Structure 1
Amino acid sequence: MPVKKKKKIIGRRELIDFPALGLFDIEAKIDTGAYTSAIHCTAIREVTLPDGRPVIRFNLLDPSHPLYHQKIFEFDQFTQRDIKSSFGDVQERYVIRTQIQLFNKIIEADFSLSDRSDMKYPVLIGRAAIRKNFMVDVAHKNLSAKAKLRKQQNKKI
């Protein structure tokens, strides 16, 4: 009988890192009702390079966010999918695959590029990203950030 690995407990809100994108301690809402994760982007556009390859370009976050850095990101690996919003509307969105770090785990996850300026949190983590490694306890929040802080404090001792 295969041994099940123990899943880490995360809260309803977590601070996550996007190491490949240079973004750290971004507030994220954990939403087990959503399948695909989403990240707040602006100026999302598909561009054809001189060699004919399509790329997707966008800015992460927006000028009102304290971690906004005006960097334009470019991905040549992307898809377009129909994503149903929490309001029941279906939108065609660009989807990229990138890494997130939660606790000490680096996870490859799909993120739809979306204008989340009307939302409280710039990142939504859906169940597809967390199902293999984490369980959600809605009574808690920022468990990964608290663990990181404890680890740093223990190193100082």
Structure 2
Amino acid sequence: MDKESAQPLAKAGSNPLATVGWREKVDLPELGLKSVPAKIDSGARTSSLHAIIIDQFARDGENFVRFAVDFGDQHVRQVCEAVHVDWRGITSSNGKTQRRMIIKTPLKIGTLTFRAEISLADRSDMKFPMLIGRSSLRRRFVVDSGHSWLQTPGMQPAVGHKP
């Protein structure tokens, strides 16, 4: 395969899509979260963030949620606030559907920042506190499942599955 045919597909006249690995570190700037380890999962529709709901409240006529994000391995808890945009039934990988709170907030992967819908869920049993679903990836990224950290500054791109 020549170099030109190996480029990601994009619409005519636009730039090729950026490539992400199967795991990346991402930022959620409005939540004050930086370098959050995230698993890229094109099988999941909605992105998900590990969160413990603390409070739901209204401010200036809008519904908000206050929640905590725990980074257990670093013994850090970050309390965040975001506009609560919806409740949705989300089916997890085990086939069970949970009613989850949805927020919409800027998400930064590499140099690209965009607004993403993110469900808040208990991911304490998961290796990654965040999962990036296909709605966030669509028309922005292609996934190279054989590599890691392709959009993560300061990380050495890794080949293969090295947890």
TM range, normalised to the smaller chain?
Answer: 0.7 to 0.9
Match of residue 34, structure 2, among 10, 18, 24: 24
Corresponding residue of 1:107: 114
CA RMSD across the alignment: 2.2
Q: Contact conserved, 2:42 with 2:134, CA < 8 A, in 1? A: yes
Taking structure 1 as the reference length, the TM-score comes to: 0.82
Gaps of 5+ in 1: 151-157
Unaligned runs of 5+ in 2: 1-10, 156-163
Task: In structure 2, give the amino acid aligned to 1:128.
Answer: S
- Between Structure 1 and Structure 2, the one with more strand by share is 2
Alpha-carbon offset, residue 35 of structure 1 = 0.4
Change (3 A) 1:84 1:16: same
Q: Give 1:2-151 correspondences, 5 Å limit.
A: 2-47=12-57, 54-61=63-70, 64-66=72-74, 68-71=76-79, 73-145=80-152, 148-149=153-154
Matched residue SS, 1:15:
strand
The letter for the 1-side match of 2:65 is: I
Matched residues, number: 145
Distance 1:94 1:107 in 2: 20
Mapped to 1, the partners of 2:62 and 2:24 lie a distance apart of 36
**TM-score normalized by the length of structure 2:** 0.79
Aligned equivalents of 1:53, 1:5: Cα separation in 2: 37
What code does the residue aligned with 2:122 have? Answer: D
Instruction: Please tell me the residue identity of whatever aligns with 1:55.
Output: F
Query: What amino acid sits opposite 1:57 in the alignment?
Result: R
Distance 1:53 1:21, change over 3 A: closer
Counterparts in 2 of 1:70 and 1:25: CA distance versus 1, 3 Å: closer
Matches of 1:74 and 1:19, distance apart in 2: 12
Q: Structure 1 residues 68 and 7 mapped into 2: Cα distance closer, same or farther (>3 Å)?
A: same
Distance across 1 between alignment mates of 2:42 and 2:116: 14
For 2:76, what is the secondary structure of its paired residue? coil
Q: Which has the higher contact order (CA 8 A, sep 6+)?
A: 1
| In structure 2, C-alpha distance between the alignment counterparts of 1:103 and 1:39, rounded to whole Å | 18
Percent identity, aligned pairs only?
Answer: 37
Work out whether residues 30 and 126 of structure 1, in 8 Å CA contact, stay in contact via their aligned partners in 2: yes
Greater shift after overlay, 17-26 or 87-96?
17-26
Q: What amino acid maps onto 2:49 in structure 1?
A: I
Question: Relative to 1, partners in 2 of residues 1:86 and 1:44: Cα closer, same or farther, differing over 3 Å?
Answer: farther
